[in-house]
């Protein structure tokens, strides 16, 4: 019997790991469409439940014990309300005809279907999570224990079997539950580390590394796009007068305005260092780039920056633009030309945007 318990648990554990990682998109495994996830998980859970029954522990000729309830409960966490309903129906129907149709099979199969339906309907109102799944699982164990007792006529041997079933179910579910929670925590930390590696710590914008990656991707598509470099005018004076904490406040607010203004145009905003920012504008010609860039400039100029001292600062920016592929075809050259245009904007009066190709400004 111990070997049967171990085999059943191993199948259950394998199911949990192999469904959790890809369907929670923790390792960026390709799933055709998220809308199919509940149905795929419901089907996989149902087939796993059938496999668990084929390796189940026999209590009597008509009563078997396995980990199918854990599968149904976990499918609800991973796949939402539809998954436990589908898995419950598949497992219940399989149980109905597993040893040939009988009254006991009908009761056991119907009970499994009911468990799946109840968990599915309840999770529609209260989304299943790692925090509340033990309650759903507890319900399934209680109902199944009652059914086992009824089918076994509440004999002493049946009571011992029910106790064994409860212990096996709780222990196996707890091990899987703790493992999945630890995996979830680990993957969240990895995700956070990945975000930090491509994000500017202060503004939340992309950093220079991610800027390079986005630029290379746009070049690889071989479609027109423009690069805008923006620099805050006289930012050193802000830091010298009010201190770096206030300077940081200005940078954060500036980042928000840049994102909000460029978002309708697909702008990809990065902080390339210090007070220098960039915006990649996909599918944008030089004329359109000038138009969008000036909207960004105006969003910064027209509204004063409220700082923690209670004062309001007048902040302006200068910008330089280059366009792919008419001006350059490499990241380095695009950046160099945009930087040259930025220099022209600064030396010709600041608070303006210049395009390197046309040597025009707004």
The catalytic residues are 275
- Please answer whether residues 195 and 204 qualify as being in contact, where contact means their C-beta atoms are separated by less than 8 angstroms: no
**Cα 292 to Cα 294: distance, rounded to the nearest angstrom:** 5
CB 262 within 8 A of CB 279: yes
Taking alpha carbons only, the member of 321, 318, 317 closest to residue 357 is 321
Closest to 277 (Cα-Cα) out of 205, 182, 215, 170: 205
Q: Distance between CA 320 and CA 128 in Å, rounded?
A: 51
Buried/exposed code over 193-227 (b: 16+ C-beta within 10 A; e: otherwise): eeeeeebbeebebbbeebbbebbeebbeeeebbbb
Nearest to 74 by CA among 148, 15, 4: 15
Residues recorded for the chain: 362
């Amino acid at each position: 019997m111990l070997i049967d318990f171990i085999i059943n648990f191993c199948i259950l554990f394998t199911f949990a790991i192999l469904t959790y990682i890809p369907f929670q998109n923790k390792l960026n495994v390709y799933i055709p469409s998220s809308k199919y996830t509940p149905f795929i998980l419901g089907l996989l859970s149902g087939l796993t439940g059938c496999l668990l029954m084929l390796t189940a522990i026999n209590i009597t000729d008509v009563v078997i014990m396995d980990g199918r309830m854990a599968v149904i409960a976990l499918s609800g966490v991973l796949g939402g309300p539809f998954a436990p309903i589908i898995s419950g129906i598949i497992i219940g129907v399989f149980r109905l005809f597993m040893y040939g149709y009988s009254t006991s099979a009908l009761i056991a199969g119907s009970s499994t279907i009911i468990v799946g339906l109840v968990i599915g309907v309840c999770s529609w109102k209260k989304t299943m999570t790692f925090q509340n799944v033990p309650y759903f699982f507890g319900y399934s164990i209680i109902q199944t224990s009652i059914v086992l007792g009824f089918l076994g006529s509440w004999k002493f041997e049946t009571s011992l079997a029910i106790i064994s079933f409860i212990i096996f179910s709780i222990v196996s579910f707890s091990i899987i539950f703790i493992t999945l929670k630890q995996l979830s925590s680990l993957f969240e930390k990895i995700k956070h580390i990945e975000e930090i590696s491509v994000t500017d710590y202060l503004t939340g914008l992309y950093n220079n590394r991610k800027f390079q990656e986005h630029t290379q991707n746009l070049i690889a598509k071989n479609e027109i796009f423009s690069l805008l470099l923006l620099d805050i005018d006289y930012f050193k004076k802000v830091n010298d007068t009010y201190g770096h904490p206030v300077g940081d406040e200005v940078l954060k607010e500036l980042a928000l305005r840049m994102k909000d203004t460029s978002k309708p145009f697909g702008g990809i905003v990065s902080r390339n260092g210090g007070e220098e920012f960039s915006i990649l504008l996909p599918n944008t010609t030089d004329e359109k780039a000038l138009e969008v860039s000036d909207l960004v400039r105006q969003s910064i100029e027209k509204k004063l920056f409220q700082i923690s001292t209670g004062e309001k600062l007048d902040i302006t920016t200068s910008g330089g633009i280059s366009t792919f592929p008419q001006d350059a075809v490499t990241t380095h050259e695009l950046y160099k030309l945009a930087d040259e245009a930025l220099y022209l904007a600064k030396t010709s009066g600041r608070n303006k945007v210049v395009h390197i190709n046309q040597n025009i400004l707004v």
